[in-house]
Chains A and B, each alone.
Chain A
Amino acid sequence: MHNRCKTLAGLISQLRDLGLGDRVLTHPAALAAFGSDGLAVLHTRPAAVVVAETIQEVVQIVRVCHREQVPFVARGSGTSLSGGALPIEDGIVIALNRLDSVLRIDDVERIAVVEPGVINARVSEAAAPFGLTYAPDPSSQAVCTIGGNVAFNSGGAHCLLHGMTSNHVLGITAVLPDGTIVELGGDSTEQVGPDWAGLFCGSEGLFGIAIEITLRLLPIAEAAHTTLAVYDSLEAAGDAVAQIVAAGMLPVAIEIMDSLAIEAAEASVKPGYPRGAALLIVELEGERVVVDADAIQLRELLASGATELRATGDPAGRALIWKGRKSAFSAVGWLAPNYIVQDGVVPRTRLGETLAEIERLSAEFGLRIANVFHAGDGNLHPLILFDGAEPGALDRAEALGREILLVCLKAGGSVTGEHGIGMEKRELLSLMFSEDDMALMRRLRHTVDPAELANRGKMLPPPPVVT
């Protein structure tokens, strides 16, 4: 204990010596704000929070942590839903929000070079004057940062056509946990040699911190068209998704919300959704003439099963539809004091039976579930509602969440589509991968970071005890 205190005191004075001054926060009240991330049920107190303002400072802070062997976690806006940005007890939080410069937009090479603290939506804003956009659009895009998106390989509604964050990250300059700086990938969309940047993406901070990121930008499509279809059952909405795929259409997004999620959205941001058991949102984009023709085909396809159809190519109308969808997580706060959001994935053809199983589990556990999901790619977001004041309710909600993820695994899916493993799903990772897979992941982690300084305790479950 004495040694640890001495180390921390030494560390903090070394951090202050870097000229960080009052940006080294140690007062309990200041630290409290950093105690949790988007997974609010977990809370930890770090030894200090260091607010970095330059890339050079980030590197120096990592080097001090390495020298003193104190663990650290990099943090952007703290929106992780899996506890990925949860501080490490007595470790350092490196706050990256002030590293928020879009360093360069190159319209000829169609890239953006950014610092890790840049807000996701800011990239598209900066690219828009050039007719370009940054495709990954997590629901939290108005606040979440690119650094966090890279660490957790974040997704979003438009992944269906465009892919996840890692598909749009061309290059990363990273500081490894021992302070070494490396360059991964580059500025071309094509790579030669192993995809080091691809491996770094989604590594949940375990390989260090991305300090400069080169992103691929896409041309803004000249036309986009969003269709809302109402169904009298979740199953009917699910069938419509299968029909769209069977017709050979390639929408940019296909989303479903159930009645509880619709109710929540209406209670909060009031998108004016029609009422029904399920709502399907399908977005098309591309050449105007083609989008117009596809929209007609889509309408004909959906007309037989839907009880109501609305469609719009108008930007304001589309924005309102998406506002309801993207605020769904926070909106369920109107329905219950607390909720847990899950992020399982199933093969698309197993969606119907998985939803039925979730409904059965909801009844069995006596907890309401609102379903909002990326139906096109089989990525479910069951929002489990509970009242934290009720004894045992959190445990029951967590147990229900775990059951749902086991259903996803059994169907051949994944325990996380876009939120990451974080703190939340560590033991589930080893149910998804073999012992040999897990051993390799651990070996890789230890080769890159033998002392487990970078985001210690996240993603990888503690190794099995050898008896």
Chain B
Amino acid sequence: LTVAIAIDSVDAVRDAVRDGPSVLPVGGGSKPALSTPPTGDVVALDMRPLSGIVEYDPRELTVTALAGTAVAQLRDALAAHRQHLPFDPPLVGSGATLGGVVATGAAGPSAFCHGGVRDFVIGVRFVDGTGTLVGGGGKVVKNAAGFDFAKLMVGSIGRLGVLVELSFKVFPGPGVRATAILDFGDTPSALAAMARLGRAPFRIEALDLQPPARLLVRFAGSAELPGRVCELAGREPTEVLDGDREARLWRRASELGWVGSGATLVRAAITLRRAPDLLALLADAGAQARLSLGANVAWIAWPSDKPLDPLDRWLHMQRSLGMVLTGRPERLLIGRSRGGAFAARVRDALDPDRRFPEA
């Protein structure tokens, strides 16, 4: 039904945007609702041919690559020099591209310690709604020149521009890691321990809650750390994992392998204080969830046969926002949108002729 154009150059993006009527950049399809044109007149741009690492000098701790590059390709190139993207991009095994990761703005569980996507994108080139190639930021790690379009593009889901090239700050590592699995008697005790661990004076890499009451705490450090984590949590560990089993556990988390096919996946920005209320709502609805990044984000598997309205209402009440990542792209954003008049004016400037569909 929909038309797709294979994009292999910046010119192809510019032509497509200028030709219109409306375009949607699509990467590896790992977040299907974001990759499906919402209406028949929206042309899908297959960005995958626009791929490759443009510049990578490990001594610089920065990398520049085209937007259609598979995250897996970049991950491997960085790993060869014992470096990595500290925001732990999710869904890498499902074919996520760099452009898709940035446009979605979603970080993976091990971003807890160093920050999310917005903290590591240092430069961007994109085609705006007038079909013009523009850029912001640069290739150096510290830069305060001009408006920060690189940050603006994080989470913009193709509604403000078509990403063509991205520059990232990278870090050495990751080091050797271990994970403590801690089971609590109830959700409130698990969340209280999560809050204490969030203030740990040593580095915790991932801090997830598997409802109702299991904490997964990933760390890298001395041999004393497992003991210290458990002491801070006030709980003996059910298990402490390392090596392959540990890596597999987080790979599965990052791939969202626990989300069943009968569910709609929603990613919502929350906070730890909002967690108990959300978990109660999800239990009522028969939804599965995982709270990640110290309960700053909820990955929710909502039963596909039930309307999202209760979740939408709750998010709205909490002044929070969620993004629907699977299913029909009827409603990508639920809850309370931010930005108001500022957002509307930015959109008017970047996409005056509405070449990009409504979110």
The residues of A with any CB-CB pair to B shorter than 8 Å are: 106-110, 130-132, 152-155, 159, 163-164, 166-167, 174, 176, 180, 182-196, 198-203, 207, 219-222, 242, 245-246, 248-250, 286-290, 293, 343, 345-349, 374, 377-379, 412-421, 425, 429, 432-434, 436-437, 439-441, 443-444, 446-448, 459
Number of interface residues of B (CB under 8 A): 85
Question: Quick check: is B200 within 8 A (CB to CB) of the other chain?
Answer: yes
Question: Quick check: is B283 within 8 A (CB to CB) of the other chain?
Answer: no
8 contacts between A and B (CB under 8 A): A107-B195, A109-B271, A184-B338, A186-B321, A194-B156, A199-B346, A202-B144, A248-B82
A residues less than 8 Å from B141 (CB atoms): 345, 348, 377-378
Q: Which residue of B lies closest to A246 (CB)?
A: B59
Inter-chain contact B142/A194, CB cutoff 8 Å:
no
Question: Quick check: is B296 within 8 A (CB to CB) of the other chain?
Answer: yes
Q: Which residue of B lies closest to A193 (CB)?
A: B155
Bound-state Cα–Cα, A220 to B321, Å: 30
Inter-chain contact A440/B134, CB cutoff 8 Å:
yes
Inter-chain contact B134/A182, CB cutoff 8 Å:
no
Question: Quick check: is B57 within 8 A (CB to CB) of the other chain?
Answer: yes
Q: A193-B337, A196-B343 known; A290 and B147 CB under 8 Å?
A: no
Question: Quick check: is B250 within 8 A (CB to CB) of the other chain?
Answer: no
The 5 closest A-B pairs by CB, nearest first: A198-B151, A222-B201, A287-B202, A289-B222, A447-B349
A residues less than 8 Å from B115 (CB atoms): 163, 167, 189
Inter-chain contact A207/B140, CB cutoff 8 Å:
no
Bound-state Cα–Cα, A292 to B335, Å: 47
- Per-position binary interface string of chain B over residues 304-319, scored 1 when its CB falls under 8 Å from any chain A CB and 0 otherwise: 0000000000000001
B144 in complex: contacting residue of A176, A194, A293, A416, CB < 8 Å: A416
Name the residue in B105, B118, B144 with the highest tally of chain A Cβ atoms < 10 Å from its Cβ. B144
Inter-chain contact A219/B116, CB cutoff 8 Å:
no
Inter-chain contact A348/B59, CB cutoff 8 Å:
yes
Inter-chain contact A176/B201, CB cutoff 8 Å:
no
B198 in complex: contacting residue of A110, A180, A448, CB < 8 Å: A110
Q: A109-B272, A191-B105 known; A198 and B135 CB under 8 Å?
A: no
Bound-state Cα–Cα, A207 to B273, Å: 32
B residues less than 8 Å from A164 (CB atoms): 142, 144
Bound-state Cα–Cα, A69 to B128, Å: 31
Inter-chain contact A200/B155, CB cutoff 8 Å:
no
Q: A155-B144, A242-B59 known; A186 and B338 CB under 8 Å?
A: yes
B residues less than 8 Å from A109 (CB atoms): 271-273
Q: A155-B142, A184-B342, A348-B60 are in contact. List 19 more A-B contacts (CB 8 A).
A: A108-B272, A130-B199, A131-B201, A132-B199, A163-B119, A183-B319, A184-B338, A189-B293, A192-B267, A193-B157, A193-B339, A194-B153, A195-B152, A242-B59, A248-B173, A378-B141, A440-B134, A444-B349, A448-B342
- Per-position binary interface string of chain B over residues 3-38, scored 1 when its CB falls under 8 Å from any chain A CB and 0 otherwise: 000000000000000000000000000000000000
Inter-chain contact B59/A245, CB cutoff 8 Å:
yes
- Per-position binary interface string of chain B over residues 206-224, scored 1 when its CB falls under 8 Å from any chain A CB and 0 otherwise: 0000000000000001101
Question: Quick check: is B67 within 8 A (CB to CB) of the other chain?
Answer: no
Shortest Cβ distance from residue A191 to the other chain B in the assembled complex, whole angstroms: 6
Q: A246-B59, A289-B224, A347-B62 known; A192 and B268 CB under 8 Å?
A: yes
Bound-state Cα–Cα, A166 to B136, Å: 15
A176 in complex: contacting residue of B148, B156, B203, B342, CB < 8 Å: B342
Inter-chain contact A289/B134, CB cutoff 8 Å:
no
Inter-chain contact A195/B154, CB cutoff 8 Å:
yes
Inter-chain contact B143/A414, CB cutoff 8 Å:
yes
A residues less than 8 Å from B145 (CB atoms): 414-416, 421, 425, 429, 432-433
Bound-state Cα–Cα, A246 to B323, Å: 39
Question: Quick check: is B110 within 8 A (CB to CB) of the other chain?
Answer: no
Bound-state Cα–Cα, A195 to B152, Å: 5
Inter-chain contact B320/A441, CB cutoff 8 Å:
no
Bound-state Cα–Cα, A343 to B145, Å: 11
- Per-position binary interface string of chain B over residues 153-166, scored 1 when its CB falls under 8 Å from any chain A CB and 0 otherwise: 11111011000000
Inter-chain contact B269/A207, CB cutoff 8 Å:
no
Shortest Cβ distance from residue B78 to the other chain A in the assembled complex, whole angstroms: 12
Bound-state Cα–Cα, A346 to B140, Å: 7
Question: Quick check: is B333 within 8 A (CB to CB) of the other chain?
Answer: yes
Question: Quick check: is B146 within 8 A (CB to CB) of the other chain?
Answer: yes
A residues less than 8 Å from B135 (CB atoms): 433-434, 437
Inter-chain contact A190/B116, CB cutoff 8 Å:
yes
Shortest Cβ distance from residue A142 to the other chain B in the assembled complex, whole angstroms: 21
A residues less than 8 Å from B156 (CB atoms): 193-194
Q: A188-B271, A194-B160 known; A347 and B140 CB under 8 Å?
A: yes
Q: A192-B267, A196-B346, A199-B152 known; A417 and B296 CB under 8 Å?
A: no
Bound-state Cα–Cα, A343 to B140, Å: 13
Bound-state Cα–Cα, A459 to B148, Å: 13
B residues less than 8 Å from A155 (CB atoms): 142, 144
A residues less than 8 Å from B155 (CB atoms): 191-195
B residues less than 8 Å from A108 (CB atoms): 195, 198, 272-273
Q: Which residue of B lies closest to A132 (CB)?
A: B199
Shortest Cβ distance from residue B215 to the other chain A in the assembled complex, whole angstroms: 15
Question: Quick check: is B188 within 8 A (CB to CB) of the other chain?
Answer: no
Inter-chain contact B140/A414, CB cutoff 8 Å:
yes
Shortest Cβ distance from residue A353 to the other chain B in the assembled complex, whole angstroms: 14
- Per-position binary interface string of chain B over residues 266-293, scored 1 when its CB falls under 8 Å from any chain A CB and 0 otherwise: 0111111100000000000000000001
Q: A186-B319, A250-B171 known; A447 and B346 CB under 8 Å?
A: yes
B107 in complex: contacting residue of A186, A190, A436, CB < 8 Å: A190
Inter-chain contact B59/A195, CB cutoff 8 Å:
no
Bound-state Cα–Cα, A439 to B128, Å: 12
Bound-state Cα–Cα, A432 to B135, Å: 11
B residues less than 8 Å from A413 (CB atoms): 138, 140
A residues less than 8 Å from B105 (CB atoms): 190-193, 195
A207 in complex: contacting residue of B128, B321, B342, CB < 8 Å: B342
Bound-state Cα–Cα, A200 to B343, Å: 11
Inter-chain contact A429/B146, CB cutoff 8 Å:
yes
Q: A131-B201, A222-B201, A349-B60 known; A287 and B269 CB under 8 Å?
A: no
Shortest Cβ distance from residue A125 to the other chain B in the assembled complex, whole angstroms: 17
Bound-state Cα–Cα, A132 to B196, Å: 12
Question: Quick check: is B94 within 8 A (CB to CB) of the other chain?
Answer: no
Inter-chain contact B118/A180, CB cutoff 8 Å:
no
Inter-chain contact A290/B221, CB cutoff 8 Å:
yes
Inter-chain contact A166/B142, CB cutoff 8 Å:
no
Q: Which residue of B lies closest to A152 (CB)?
A: B144
Inter-chain contact B142/A189, CB cutoff 8 Å:
no
Bound-state Cα–Cα, A379 to B122, Å: 15
Inter-chain contact A348/B61, CB cutoff 8 Å:
yes
